[in-house]
């Protein structure tokens, strides 16, 4: 074994914030003092190392002098306390309107995971792998997100199996609230062509006519402007996956992907001064 020194490149205030959340969780559970292998701060550092470095949990547990089972349990606790701090969808929409945001950007992403044997029935009545995305040609979980006009992520949804299309996932988690935002808050949402037919307040590019005729100049200009604004939304998921390497390939249960992404969103909001 070779020991070496390392520096975790996250603000100390972030580890302290997560430590306070874990301390509150322990008190609510009635955990006796000094009965845990790691302090709340030590557990926070352990969890942040997993998010930041994307390392194997047993290896991290060995680094911190705890067992593999304890490592998985400590990580699950940290994910849970962070995910519960994720912003509510309607609160996000109201605050965006109060802040003078002109529009929001809706996008979805497949978070890669290990292959699973869970089956589901497709729209054609065939048995398919539930978590396999034919579009991306890999297994994963579909998560929807709302971004500010500059692409900063504001909200993320629960996870849907990778075989779920973006429009279907959006209908399940976010479209109803976006209709309300468009009608009550005058806050439209921009989306790509995968959300075609989403409904009122969700603006998507006009598709090319099936008869081969070209779109008129006004429609082409509308599509160019919309795509130019909407493409900034790609920054949202890039911020999350670029900063928190564990999101690039999630080896935990795919049902936990939603909580993991929500936890990463909370960490990102803290680092950018969005938490009050």
The per-residue pLDDT for range 44-69, each reduced to its tens digit, is: 999 999 999 999 999 999 999 999 99
Helices (H), the chain: 12-29, 40-53, 57-63, 68-83, 89-98, 166-173, 175-184, 217-230, 234-243, 257-271
What does the block give as tokens for 138?
A: 């890999």
What does the block give as tokens for 78?
A: 């940290």
- Domain of 37, in residue numbers: 12-83
Distance CA 192, CA 211 (A): 22
Helix, strand or coil, per DSSP, at residue 248: coil
Helix, strand or coil, per DSSP, at residue 161: strand
**Domain identity same for 214 and 108:** yes
Q: 128 lies in a domain?
A: yes
Containing H/E element for 146?
A: strand 138-147
| Secondary structure in 3-state letters for 105-142 | EEEEEEEEECCCCCEEECCCCCEEECCEECCCCEEEEE
Based on its alpha-carbon atoms, the radius of gyration of the chain, rounded to whole angstroms, reads: 21
Q: Which of 83, 99, 134 is the last residue of a domain?
A: 83
**Domain identity same for 74 and 194:** no
Which is higher by pLDDT, 212 or 75? 75
Question: Could you tell me what percent of the chain has a pLDDT over 90?
Answer: 77
> Is the pLDDT assigned to residue 146 strictly greater than 70?
yes
Structure confidence at residue 88 as a pLDDT band (50, 70, 90): very high
Instruction: Count structural domains, the chain.
Output: 2
Question: Could you tell me what percent of the chain has a pLDDT over 70?
Answer: 99
Containing H/E element for 80?
A: helix 68-83
């Amino acid at each position: 074994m070779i020991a070496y020194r390392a520096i975790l490149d996250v603000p100390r205030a972030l580890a302290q914030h997560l430590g306070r959340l874990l301390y509150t969780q322990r008190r609510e559970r009635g955990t006796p003092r000094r009965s845990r292998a790691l302090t709340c701060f030590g557990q926070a550092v352990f969890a942040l190392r997993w998010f930041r470095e994307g390392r194997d949990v047993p290896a991290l547990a060995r680094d911190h002098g705890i067992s593999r089972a304890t490592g998985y349990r400590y990580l699950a606790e940290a994910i849970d306390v962070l995910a519960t701090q994720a912003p509510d969808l309607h609160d996000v929409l109201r605050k965006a309107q109060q802040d003078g945001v002109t529009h929001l950007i809706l996008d979805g992403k497949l978070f890669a995971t290990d292959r699973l044997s869970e089956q589901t029935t497709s729209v054609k009545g065939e048995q398919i792998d539930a978590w396999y995305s034919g579009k991306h040609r890999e297994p994963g979980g579909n998560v929807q997100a709302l971004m500010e006009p500059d692409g900063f992520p504001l909200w993320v949804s629960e996870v849907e199996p990778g075989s779920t299309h973006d429009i279907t996932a959006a209908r399940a988690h976010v479209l109803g609230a976006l209709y309300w935002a468009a009608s009550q808050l005058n806050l439209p949402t921009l989306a790509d062509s995968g959300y075609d037919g989403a409904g009122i307040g969700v603006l998507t590019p006009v598709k090319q006519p099936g008869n081969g005729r070209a779109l008129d100049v006004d429609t082409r200009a509308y599509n160019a402007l919309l795509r130019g604004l909407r493409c900034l939304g790609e920054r949202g998921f890039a911020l999350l996956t670029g900063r928190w390497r564990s999101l690039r390939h999630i080896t935990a249960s795919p049902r936990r992907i939603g909580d993991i992404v929500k936890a990463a969103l909370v960490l990102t909001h803290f680092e950018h001064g969005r938490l009050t």
